[in-house]
Amino acid sequence: MARVVVVTPNPAIDVTYGVTDQSPGETHRVGSVERRPGGKGINVARGLLALGHDPVNVLPLGGGAGDWIAAELAALGLAASVTPIAGLTRTCVAITDPHGHPTVYNEPGPLVAAAEWHALLADTARQLRDASMLVVSGSLPGGTDDTVIGELVAVAKAADVPVLLDVSGASLTAAARAGADILKPNAQELLEATGELTLDAAIDAVRSLGAGLVVVSRGTDGLVAVDDRGAYSVPAVSGVTGNPTGAGDAATAGLAAALLDGLPVADALAWAAALGAAAVLRPVAGEVDLDAFHRFLANQATN
């Protein structure tokens, strides 16, 4: 069991509404409501915990929403080290219906002051003293400079701990320039961040900036990866339907867990694909179906 520090720069209360149908401009009756502590990093931590690792969440929290998230993390058995902030932690809403992909509304998040980021970076450094990996996952709150991402990578390098980042936009290229050990964007995020027209060119672009292993999720087309040893790919798990919100976070958790267990990159991609698919089977982000995960892995091994 490895201790993993997971930084969620922009946590949220994730609210999932279940409706029978969606029509813009109309009043809808909500059939079901789920509230969970959310943000991509928290979802990753939940996946790591399910796979037997020991994540500690490092995150900025503020106001009553922040207090609620801290209490819920404790109830889930997830360790947390909180940096208090003056702003109010955001809420994000996903609306699901039986007919298609969820509609998601993500608030930008509160302004986090420079002194608050400094405190979070210092706390991250403390938590890394006995950790095996740093994972940074999710967006930065509105108005935050992307230099924070480079500083997080630098903190990991100073602690001699590998760092895996699932970030997008300017944060992705900032992570590559800082020498991130592992980058795990999806295909659209990577193309948009680099401005390249093909996935191969985009992967080459971030590797030329300084990234090590680059793992790209491509939805139903599976995952590809490139490092100094070569290129790898695995297909997506077929025939899985449900709520894809949080599947990418589960894939990040599966990738991290496999690498922490010492598995080669090809096997780590299989873990990522299997845990991502196992998350689709659950009604809300952050949960995974472990029986399905093991079944998917076994099926991949026999194909």
Interval 131-153 mean pLDDT: 95
Q: Is the pLDDT of residue 302 over 70?
A: no
Please give the Cα distance from 29 to 21 (Å, whole number): 9
Please give the Cα distance from 258 to 215 (Å, whole number): 13
Residue 97 has what pLDDT?
Answer: 87
Query: In this predicted structure, which of 51-55, 184-188, 278-282 has the lowest mean pLDDT?
Result: 278-282
Measured on CA atoms in the order 58, 137, 175, 104, is the torsion positive or negative? negative
Do 196 and 202 touch, CB atoms closer than 8 A?
Answer: yes
Q: Is 249 a catalytic residue?
A: yes
Nearest to 210 by CA among 189, 181, 230, 187: 181
Stronger pLDDT, 281 or 249, i.e. the higher one = 249
Residue 282 has what pLDDT?
Answer: 86
Q: Is the pLDDT of residue 286 over 90?
A: no
What six digits make up the tokens of 264? 């080669």
Please give the Cα distance from 70 to 267 (Å, whole number): 34
Q: Are strands 223-227 and 230-234 parallel, antiparallel or unpaired?
A: antiparallel
Q: Is the pLDDT of residue 245 over 80?
A: no
Q: How many other C-beta atoms are found inside a 10 Å radius of the C-beta of residue 23?
A: 8
Please give the Cα distance from 206 to 289 (Å, whole number): 33
Interval 108-120 mean pLDDT: 96
Residue 24 has what pLDDT?
Answer: 87
Q: Is the pLDDT of residue 303 over 70?
A: no
Query: In this predicted structure, which of 3-17, 36-50, 285-299 has the lowest mean pLDDT?
Result: 285-299
Residue 179 has what pLDDT?
Answer: 98
Stronger pLDDT, 202 or 303, i.e. the higher one = 202
What six digits make up the tokens of 253? 């958790």
Query: Which one from 123, 166, 181, 249 is the annotated catalytic residue?
Result: 249
* pLDDT band of 211, cuts 50, 70, 90: very high
Residue with tokens 């991609």: 269
Residue 98 has what pLDDT?
Answer: 85
pTM over 0.75: yes
Interval 42-51 mean pLDDT: 96
Residue 101 has what pLDDT?
Answer: 75
Average pLDDT over all residues of the chain? 94
Residue 185 has what pLDDT?
Answer: 97
Stronger pLDDT, 301 or 66, i.e. the higher one = 66
* pLDDT band of 301, cuts 50, 70, 90: low
CB neighbour class for 264 (10 Å; exposed up to 12, middle 13-18, buried from 19): exposed
Residue with tokens 């500690």: 56
Residue 178 has what pLDDT?
Answer: 98
Interval 268-278 mean pLDDT: 96
Interval 191-200 mean pLDDT: 97
Do 148 and 18 touch, CB atoms closer than 8 A?
Answer: no
| CATH number, span 3-302 | 3.40.1190.20
pLDDT digits (tens, 9 = 90+) for 172-192: 999 999 999 999 999 999 999
Do 147 and 116 touch, CB atoms closer than 8 A?
Answer: no
